[in-house]
Chains A and B, each alone.
Chain A
């Protein structure tokens, strides 16, 4: 479908979290299909407000006519980015991978800088918001982990993504343990940032170079009979959707045909009768914040289906609120107020459920909601492991 299928019903606008709280953003209908009529290849892009879109994709999820406002806006963002100088914040976040790699090499120092008042001032001067704490860098990245093999026909290559790699390698290790528990071979293929942060910061060429490197690596594993698993829903969406639709990656289709969300994969094995996890009781009342990009993956909410199998667990599913952070979006000074207001609203809804802790697939959602609610925020994997009594090995 293209912009001409828009029937101007404004349903997308009502679903746009940014529009709800930031009057400077005209909303998906105007920024997407409406403005598209006036965008001309011969004129320089002037619609700077397209940068206010956080690419949550809620507009696309809600449009009854199959118009893809977020996709139209994403293309406009790339054009704007190509024709205008990048701000320091956009450059930094586009290069988040390199920045984080550096941070995790020098973790103790980097964490101390990020925590100090001076550090925060430096961040602010670059247009980076500091209302919620930056995730601390971990010294030992997941990519340093050795290959782990078990004896089984099933083998997967795990695309762990930057968040797990640099900030929460412990979750990565738990995922590996969980897969091994079910007798699945896990390898960690050579990989780089998926490219989404670069894309979100208007840096198409950087995004594409990441994508090409990843695709070359993952495609080898597909050829060797591996399924690709991701656990970060935004990495997943980028691999499945943007590699084909925006980044023009030659092997994208082949990879997409073999790529699964971790929970989707486990659920399939359970439904096919291949595994039968013996979940034990977990006494927790959780609020499951559905990340926008999980919703956009069109696979339903597979982790919910897994959690439902755990005795003693109650889990309220909340899929109407965006946490506001949207990866690096909310860390930009210009978006800070939007991100904070959306975060507060999401937290309000969570608190209404009376939950004692939050669960969400996406690391940046957890960071935002955990910081604003002062509740613990888990990855679903942590709960699954708790129920199956799987402990990750200590870092060392």
Chain B
């Protein structure tokens, strides 16, 4: 029987953050996951809390919000640790608690975020900046007209990359000859504006290198504009988190949906997954639940209620089903976004009585990710905190 110190359920920002921290402390850690996480769909930006700065936003959060369980010092440590790790992996992030930065979206609007990937650092901060947008023949869901309609001093051009998906184009940017041809074409466009925006397709592996190469030839800042999913910056972050976890000595079990647990008293002893043959289970001294909310698969809505699928933890359900959604689809305030698992100050699930289970990330109740702008940042910081609590328990 394989023995781990910790098994983390979920390969997202929360799970890999917690897993890498614990593996880095010398514990034997495995991450098990159904599939790839929500971060692959995200812009790769680390949103922590909306507001002029995350610090101010955090102060205004309601008491029940999970970020309220963390001290500012822990939050800062989590963000700094993340920046250092990513920088070492050539996926630099800038920013911090003191100011939320703007990032231009494909719709021409701004989103604000706490930590910005290097490739978006030059994103314009006001609508009167003069920018040139490059797009690609046939690229779906990216229309420069949206941006132009909000930027009076913008123009655009279209390049035929011979591929029309973000992944297809990103793949080509990894080839030197393709990049040379692209740069030569771009130089021929005689661009007047002093910044160039390109949809986020500048490769997957060495994006910063690709960006610098274009900047060098065009002699002005270049920034990526995040696209709708499939999102390359989200995938880069996923790849880097995965690499970091593995560098710390962690094991990953792919396609390993946890179907249930074995427990005695207040302790969970093992988790198991359905198989074609012999039973497949893994045991550990502690477990971290980082299975995300509805998109990640941690929560499931049934006709009557909302359930957590693995430990059957008590779930906070905001109201009867009829009250889960507001009439306005685009509202950031749907009651269902409050659903989730309640955690106490040691990031153990409330009301479940387990001593060796910890919970973090999008599955937490009252997160209201859209309303408070706290997606990846919530998972990062609570992942850090859950790992800290778990390490305390283990020692």
Taking a contact as CB atoms under 8 Å apart, the answer to whether A14 and B275 are in contact is: no
Give Cα A61 to B277, complex, Å.
Answer: 18
The answer to the question of B95 belonging to the interface, with a C-beta cut-off of 8 Å to chain A, is: no
What's the tally of chain B residues with a CB closer than 8 Å to chain A?
37
The answer to the question of B229 belonging to the interface, with a C-beta cut-off of 8 Å to chain A, is: yes
Taking a contact as CB atoms under 8 Å apart, the answer to whether B34 and A298 are in contact is: no
Taking a contact as CB atoms under 8 Å apart, the answer to whether B35 and A317 are in contact is: no
Taking a contact as CB atoms under 8 Å apart, the answer to whether A300 and B1 are in contact is: no
Min CB distance, B236 to chain A, in Å?
A: 11
Give Cα A224 to B130, complex, Å.
Answer: 78
The residue that B34 contacts in the complex, of A7, A64, A255, A260, with Cβ under 8 A, is A64
Give Cα A23 to B172, complex, Å.
Answer: 12
Question: With a CB–CB cut-off of 8 A, which chain B residues contact A19?
Answer: 167-168
Question: With a CB–CB cut-off of 8 A, which chain B residues contact A60?
Answer: 255
The residue that B257 contacts in the complex, of A10, A11, A66, A253, with Cβ under 8 A, is A66
The residue that A13 contacts in the complex, of B167, B253, B296, with Cβ under 8 A, is B167
The answer to the question of B94 belonging to the interface, with a C-beta cut-off of 8 Å to chain A, is: no
The answer to the question of A301 belonging to the interface, with a C-beta cut-off of 8 Å to chain B, is: yes
Min CB distance, B210 to chain A, in Å?
A: 15
- The contact string, 1 if C-beta is below 8 Å from chain A, for chain B 218-250, is 000000000001100001000100000010000
The answer to the question of A258 belonging to the interface, with a C-beta cut-off of 8 Å to chain B, is: yes
The answer to the question of A21 belonging to the interface, with a C-beta cut-off of 8 Å to chain B, is: yes
Min CB distance, B160 to chain A, in Å?
A: 13
Closest to A302 in B: B2
Say yes or no: A61-B255 contact (C-beta < 8 A), given A14-B40, A15-B36, A21-B171. yes
Min CB distance, A45 to chain B, in Å?
A: 25
Closest to B273 in A: A298
The answer to the question of B190 belonging to the interface, with a C-beta cut-off of 8 Å to chain A, is: no
Taking a contact as CB atoms under 8 Å apart, the answer to whether A61 and B254 are in contact is: yes
The residue that B277 contacts in the complex, of A9, A257, A295, A305, with Cβ under 8 A, is A257
Taking a contact as CB atoms under 8 Å apart, the answer to whether A298 and B275 are in contact is: yes
Taking a contact as CB atoms under 8 Å apart, the answer to whether B277 and A259 are in contact is: yes
The answer to the question of B278 belonging to the interface, with a C-beta cut-off of 8 Å to chain A, is: yes
A-B CB contact pairs (8 Å), 28 listed: A9-B41, A10-B229, A11-B35, A11-B36, A11-B40, A11-B230, A13-B165, A19-B167, A19-B168, A20-B167, A62-B254, A63-B36, A64-B35, A65-B35, A240-B277, A253-B276, A256-B277, A257-B277, A257-B278, A258-B278, A267-B2, A295-B254, A298-B254, A298-B256, A298-B280, A299-B280, A317-B246, A319-B252
- 8 closest residue pairs by CB, A with B: A256-B277, A64-B35, A10-B230, A62-B36, A61-B255, A240-B276, A63-B35, A61-B254
On B, residues with C-beta under 8 Å from A are: 1-3, 30, 34-38, 40-41, 163, 165, 167-168, 171, 229-230, 235, 239, 246, 251-257, 273, 275-278, 280, 295-297
On A, residues with C-beta under 8 Å from B are: 7, 9-11, 13-15, 19-21, 23, 60-66, 240-241, 244-245, 253, 255-260, 267-268, 271-272, 295-296, 298-301, 305, 317, 319-320
